[in-house]
Amino acid sequence: MSVEILDFLYNQIYFIGVQTLRYGKRFFRWLVALLLKPVKAIGTLIFTLFIVIDKHALGTFHKSLDELKALFRDAKSVSKKSNEDKKEKKSIGSFVHYIGVALRRYKGAFVYVLNFALPAFSFVFLLNVVGFWNDAAFALEINYNDEVIGYVQDEAVYKEAREMAYERLDINTASVTVSKEDEEEFKLIDDAEYNIKLVKRGQINDASEICDNLIEKSDNKITNACGVYVDDKFICAVKNETDALSVFDSILAEHETGEENVVVSFVENIDYVQGLYLDSDSIIKDAEYLQNKLNSNITEDKYYTVQDGDTILGIVQKCGISTAQLYKLNPELSEIIRAGQKILIAKANDFIHVQTTKTEYKEVEVPYDTITINTSNLYVGDKKTVTKGENGLERITELVTYIGGERFSSKEVSRVTIKEAVSEKIQVGTKKNQTTSSSSSSSKGKLRWPAIGATSVSSPYGKRDFGDGWHAGIDIVRPGGSMGCTVVAAAAGTVTYAGWYNSGGYTVMIDHGNGMTTMYCHMQNTLKVRSGQKVARGQAIGNIGATGYVTGPHLHFEVKINGKNVNPALYL
């Protein structure tokens, strides 16, 4: 491109820019002038309104202001004149005359000022009245022996204070009969007089304060002491609060182990109430008495003597406890009991209980899921494991509370996954077998596996490999230990039996309808269902145990069709 062309383009661009700037300034000035027109008009209107308002509405104000200025000028001259009258010892009548003249001459100014002063004064007066009534309330004045001992909101507060005084003075009318000779001694609590008074809210007393005043004004021999209450029940009063605290601290010290993350405390709520108490041997005690009282038992061990015809189930129902509680209290107890045998049904109840709360950790297995995949490569009833399932592992942190050395409760704090569970994938055949009747094929393969985590069969259905005998079910175990594995219902149905079943130990039987029943034997005594209960497929019914006639923990599982045993493996 030549220099002439570039020079031409530069001149054209410069010309366009100059013209744009010039016409832009003109447009901007026109726009500002256009916008200022309504603003000027509004300003003129406002100014006009102000003049009109000032002339008509504020005319009285200006007139009154002028009169006030004149009044102040006259006041100065009157003041000067008064001083001269005092020197001449003239009467004060001249001063009164000046005030009368001022009121007549400047009546408008005085009226105008009063129009503002009176509402302002009324508002301030109203605020003071509201403030007074906000801080004031009607209350009952409690008068005893012509002496005011306090104010209460209503009579219920006084009654509560009186009951507290009864308890402190150990003259609770529900348990103690006061003789006529002693009636006068306790008359102060019954004969207080009421008067309605208007008082400040800060003067109103609570029940505790009225109680102290009642006792203090009584004629009884009283003393200042520390009352000890266990779960709101009065135990005794100790003159020195430190002695009472040391007794409880010594009990806690016996249970401290020095371990970290261990908290020792009392199960019961302990209260120390400092106040006035009747100075009586039945009320005021020393630390030794309190120590012995706390170490005593409220109740003793309770036993049941077995009668002829008694059974464990009958004893449980008669005594109102569970089977698990009975076996826990009597670890050596068996199903065979005899007349005259004593069975512990309730342990001695201590006066006070110490609980120990500690942080504990445990690892639990997470059962894997089973995923079924339909495939036409297998016949109906056939299965093939594609991916073997693996249980996961979780670490659980719990706050565990022990009472009397026994685990009482636990609260889960956190749960961390250590190992993820691997789902088991099983191919299920959908290809129809022409040689199998539809009725037989439809009745098989309906039941789910009854034990979570236990997947091995230690003894199959049929003739046993050792000795003589026929095995009516299959024995399910988990390599490495089956104890505690969850047992679930193989299908939905109704529980027909749940309890101890001869050599089968703790057993559950379920009716699934259409002639099919299942039986689960050798479980732990913590059965999760009862007879007559409806259960869903896969619902937990118990845990694998070793009850009954067994050589080790396992689940004996049976399937019956119309009352006859069949091979469970064909129906799982």
What are the extents of the domains in the chain? 3-53, 60-134, 302-346, 359-442, 445-572
DSSP E strands, 306-422? 342-346, 354-366, 370-379, 383-387, 392-403, 406-419
Yes or no: domain 359-442 corresponds to CATH 3.40.250.10: no
Helix%, strand%, coil% for the chain, nearest 5: 35, 35, 30
pLDDT at 185: 44
Q: Which of 514, 535, 337, 379 is nearest to 450 (CA)?
A: 535
Length of the chain: 572
- Could you tell me if 64 and 112 are in contact, meaning their C-beta atoms sit under 8 angstroms apart? yes
Identify residue 335 by its one-letter amino acid code. E
Q: CA separation (Å) from 302 to 320, 322, 325, 468, 566?
A: 13, 16, 14, 49, 49
pTM: 0.38
Other beta carbons less than 10 A from residue 32's beta carbon: 9
DSSP E strands, 514-554? 516-523, 534-535, 540-543
pLDDT at 171: 41
Yes or no: domain 302-346 corresponds to CATH 3.10.350.10: yes
Separation CA 152–CA 157 (nearest Å): 6
Other beta carbons less than 10 A from residue 5's beta carbon: 9
Per-residue pLDDT of the chain (572 residues; tens, 9 = 90+): 566 777 777 778 877 877 888 888 888 888 887 887 787 778 778 877 767 665 655 555 666 666 666 666 666 666 666 665 555 555 555 556 666 666 666 666 666 666 666 777 777 777 776 665 666 778 888 886 677 878 888 888 888 888 887 776 654 333 333 444 444 444 445 567 778 878 887 788 888 887 877 777 765 677 788 888 888 888 888 988 888 899 999 888 888 888 878 889 988 899 988 877 777 777 888 988 888 888 877 667 788 998 888 888 888 888 888 888 888 888 888 778 888 898 888 876 677 888 889 888 999 998 998 898 888 887 666 778 889 999 999 999 999 988 877 788 888 889 999 999 999 998 887 876 443 333 333 446 689 999 998 989 888 888 876 555 788 999 999 988 899 999 999 999 999 999 999 889 999 999 999 899 999 999 999 999 999 999 999 999 999 999 998 888 999 999 999 999 999 988 98
What CATH number was assigned to the domain covering residues 445-572?
2.70.70.10
At 295, list the tokens: 């170490």
**φ/ψ (deg, to 5) at 396:** -110, 130
- Could you tell me if 265 and 252 are in contact, meaning their C-beta atoms sit under 8 angstroms apart? yes
Q: CA separation (Å) from 209 to 192, 397, 433?
A: 15, 47, 91
Separation CA 34–CA 262 (nearest Å): 84
Q: CA separation (Å) from 452 to 370, 483, 510?
A: 11, 12, 18
